[in-house]
Amino acid sequence: MTSLAEQFQLQQQYRHFINGLWQDGGDGHIDVVNPAREEVIARVPAGGAAEIDAAVRAARAQFAGGAWSRLSGPERGALILKLADLVERDAAIIARLDALCIGRPMHEPAMLDLPNALATLRHNAGWADKIEGRTIPNPGYFGRPTVTYTRREAIGVIGAIVPWNTPFMITCWKLAPALATGCTIVIKPAEETPLSALHLAALVAEAGFPPGVVNVVTGRGAVAGAALCVHPGVDKISFTGSPVVGAEIMRAAGPLFKRVALELGGKSPQVVFADADLERAIQGCAMGLFFNQGQVCAAGTRLLVQRPIYEQFVAGLRQAADNVKVGDPLEEGVSMGAVAKRSQYDSIARYIQAGCDEGATLVTGGAVEGGKGWFIRPTLFANARNDMRIAREEIFGPVGTIIAFDTDEEALALANDSKYGLGATIWTRDITRAHTMAAAIEAGAVGINGWAPMDARVPWGGVKSSGLGRELGYSGIEACTEEKVITVVL
Ligand code: NAD
């Protein structure tokens, strides 16, 4: 049987992209594994402090006085647009690389991640010549009039640490505003999914960015990622990943006063009222729960359902879950692939056991045992309570916990009784209830009768343990700049 590496013409051994050159280096290598077949598809170097140091120095040199620092906004914008055109040209290749590393069906990144990444690059290219300051009227200085104005200045070198669930899209969320504002960047992709970032690096070179503006160092989080967080040449860490690592990054970066942006996990509620369009709510909740094998930070894994429609909702969602065909994403008709790694599979299986042990009713699903590949069937628990582990902890798999409520007040209390606050959906036909709930729910993004878009123009981020700061839209531009105040005493 042909290997996946041969079938998809992958390189045997990839390299870091540092200062515009492909370089080896580090402590051995990391195997990249396809989770549906448990097959090694490529190897990347396990970079460490030395490779991070070389990449940061290259990025610093371009930021502080290099050719990049002398480009105007329109010139930066034009380069980003050129990069976007190359990403569009290679979209199918990039989608395939992500799908192979994550174990998901190829049409998903092609339909969602790549269009989103492209839109993010082009949206930010448009900002590159529109980064403006303000003039601020003020009462003067010792009787003399003053003019006060501000400048938005690029923060500097950004260390971008990316997770494995939607790798190319999240890489572009960090890269595009960095380039638009004139920052430079060192990207540390996740161990499981480094290939699309390395392909992006090749496109950066082809687009003609000065060497060192964009660097990609592959390696383990605790080694290469940790080295990036404490490097004195890095001005900001932009991290997407787990809350545990997010806390470690704050501890590491804090004493150095680095800016930190954290996009972390969630346990997002989907609140379904009895007056909702039930069919639409069930379809929407299923999508919010099972998309990308449930490995989505904003996955709507706590389903809060009003009692009069509870049984009907559970039956409908079960039907939607049972309609999902789980298997090797390269096979015809498969709509859900494997979860990304063995440790993830084991952890999800333990949560499913915990749900059963705590007394929730397993309606459908469970881990697929035996054979190759780390597969979990869409799983639902009914008759659950919000104090159970399956309702409190982020499972990061296709597992939904369905909890009944009676009143609006109870729904709101349950929705907010979580350490997380990333996303939420509300399903109702009552406009007053919808807006009242949307204002009161503690979350970064709320969707009413549908999912809040993850869109290039719309800010994204969480509250509470779901993170700090915002990406995308103009908020993403602000996050890559500092506001300097200049006052002229006339
Ligand atoms: P993770 O935190 O283990 O890894 C994320 C990245 O951090 C990887 O590149 C990893 O190598 C690196 N890393 C690990 N330890 C590090 C350290 N000590 N110092 C620096 N870097 C380190 O998370 P994961 O398992 O890859 O991703 C799953 C988590 O990410 C989930 O909690 C999920 O909710 C969250 N996530 C959030 C968003 C969002 O937008 N909020 C998006 C995707 C994923």
CA of 164 to the centre of ligand 1 (A): 8
Q: What is the predicted pLDDT for the residue at 425?
A: 97
Map residue 33 onto helix, strand or coil. Answer: strand
- Cβ–Cβ contacts within 10 Å for residue 206, how many? 13
Residues of the chain with CATH 3.40.605.10: 4-264+466-489
221 lines ligand 1 (CB under 6 A): yes
| Closest ligand 1 atom to 467 CA | 41
Q: What is the predicted pLDDT for the residue at 332?
A: 87
Q: Please list the rounded mean pLDDT of every run of 10 residues in the chain (490 residues).
A: 88 92 97 96 97 98 98 98 98 96 92 96 98 95 96 98 97 98 98 98 98 98 98 98 96 96 97 98 96 93 98 98 94 92 96 98 94 95 98 97 98 98 98 98 97 90 97 97 97
What is this structure's pTM?
0.96
CA of 443 to the centre of ligand 1 (A): 20
Quick check: 21 and 216 in contact, CB under 8 A? no
β-strand partners of 486: 149
Domain 269-455 class in CATH: alpha beta
242 lines ligand 1 (CB under 6 A): yes
Residues of the chain with CATH 3.40.309.10: 269-455
248 lines ligand 1 (CB under 6 A): yes
User: How far apart are alpha carbons 260 and 159 in whole angstroms?
Assistant: 10
113 lines ligand 1 (CB under 6 A): no
Identified catalytic residue from 101, 172, 285, 297: 297
Mutation to probe ligand 1, out of 174, 242, 451, 455 (largest number of atoms < 8 A from CB): 242
Q: Is the dihedral of CA 61, 64, 67, 68 positive or negative?
A: positive
Relative orientation angle of helices 278-290 and 310-322, to the nearest 10 degrees = 50
The DSSP-derived string for 222-289 is: IIIIHHHHH-TT--EEEEES-HHHHHHHHHHHGGGT-EEEEE-----EEEE-TTS-HHHHHHHHHHHH
Token pair listed for 47:
């970079």
Give yes or no: 263 in active site.
Answer: yes
Half-sphere exposure of 10 (CA within 13 A, CB side): 29
Domain 4-264+466-489 class in CATH: alpha beta
Q: How far apart are the first and last CA of the chain?
A: 79
